[in-house]
Structure 1
Amino acid sequence: MRPTPLRPSAAPAATQQAVPPSRYLTNDEAADYLRLSPRTLEKQRVIGGGPRFRKFGRRVMYAVNDLDAWADARSYEATCDPEYIERHAGDSRHER
């Protein structure tokens, strides 16, 4: 009879620091993730203002963490929020 192999004891959940690996998405996957048009992301890569991206040869990839950070930077309480007004000052809907 073989002895049962000993398993390493698992550390308590509070002390475990599980860092999920960065997941990279294609342009189409990133657009789906953000619920945007793929063309919107393509345009933002050219003119700026979009999420950070990486180039692997000809392939453009987005890290999920970068997409989340970009989306979080665009959260506002209301349209009268001073940050919102400042960011959208050039929009035609705010011009008088």
Structure 2
Amino acid sequence: MTSSSSHATVEEMAQILQVTPSKLAQLRYKGGGPPFLRLGRQIRYPLDKFDAWEKDNILIRTDTRFIPTER
């Protein structure tokens, strides 16, 4: 992880989720991805918020409709 182990870079989060960095960019634009911070021109993903997001997005069946909760 980064020097601040409480946050992940775009590349690290892409590796965790097994997607490309451009897919993360799409999720940031469209919504539905993990929570992130914009620090100037840098994007960071707080790992504690990622853990909560991941738990909130667990589905039991593939035909379950996901309705995001507001935070």
Task: Tell me which interval the TM-score lies in, with the shorter structure as reference length.
Answer: 0.7 to 0.9
Check if 1:55 corresponds to 2:38.
yes
1:1-96 matches, cutoff 5 A = 23-80=6-63, 84=64, 86-87=65-66
- Identity over aligned pairs, percent: 31
Runs of 4+ deviating beyond 3 Å: none
TM-score in terms of structure 2 length: 0.72
RMSD: 2.1
Unmatched tracts of structure 1, length 5 or more: 1-20, 89-96
Unmatched tracts of structure 2, length 5 or more: none
The structure showing larger relative contact order (alpha-carbon pairs under 8 Å, at least 6 residues apart) is 2
Higher Rg: 1
Count of equivalent residues: 64
Answer yes or no: is the 8 Å Cα contact 2:14–2:20 preserved in 1. Answer: yes
